[in-house]
Amino acid sequence: MTVSPQIRVGLPRINEPAPDFTAPTTDGVKALSDYRGKWLVLFSHPADFTPVCTTEFIAFAKHADQFAKRNCELLGLSIDSTHSHIAWMRNIQQNFGVEIPFPIISDLKMEVAQAYGMIHPGAGDTSAVRATFIIDPDGMLRAMVYYPMSNGRSITECLRMIDAMQTSDKNGVATPEGWQPGDKVIVPPAHTAKAAAERASNPAYDYVDFYFCTKSL
């Protein structure tokens, strides 16, 4: 497993290139560059054969087609061996009837975990925390969320965030709290006094104030 030498160990930063890596997975060796041109959800879990992680993997698997519709791939990670990953995948299929359709990184040396800030001593020295990283088709880190060991993440929220970012990228808009596809979007703030004054009479906008306007797409 190798991590690009220019990547510093520590927390990655949003809107900067995601830390590069090449690592063994349950589908063979994978590199971050393999996902160029697609969105990628890279997510870590503390350990194989644990109940919370099992529920998350089942949910990711059940929503895999929804991610694919968004041109998005899934890639799991933990500090377990490939052998353990495969055994756990088979166990999930046997016990829950769910096939895991995405690869899982075996990060035994914690190189990828360290590059992405997944190792938090207060949470556990030898396991990656529960974290989710959304990387865009250009390899830029666009969003990241860390979760406590005791609580599973929301897969539908991950899908919602991808929808929101893709909508913002395509239309040059922002999205409000809890936004769902079809909801009104936020018009970016005006940058001149004239543009701010013109907003009140723009029929395409739902005008509240010069800094707060929404519209339908």
Neighbouring-strand partners of residue 133? 42, 144
Number of H helices, E strands in the chain: 6, 11
The catalytic position among 53, 72, 158, 213 is 53
**Computed from CA positions of residues 129, 149, 63, 70, in that sequence, does the dihedral angle turn out positive or negative?**
negative
CA distance readout (Å), 141 to 18, 35, 138, 191, 209? 5, 13, 9, 27, 33
Q: Are strands 72-78 and 104-106 parallel, antiparallel or unpaired?
A: parallel
Q: Is 158 a catalytic residue?
A: no
Q: What is the DSSP string of 177-213?
A: TT--TTS-EEPPPPSSHHHHHHGGG-TTSEEEETTEE
Q: What single-letter amino acid sits at 91?
A: N
* Contact between 141 and 126 (Cβ < 8 Å): no
Catalytic residues: 53
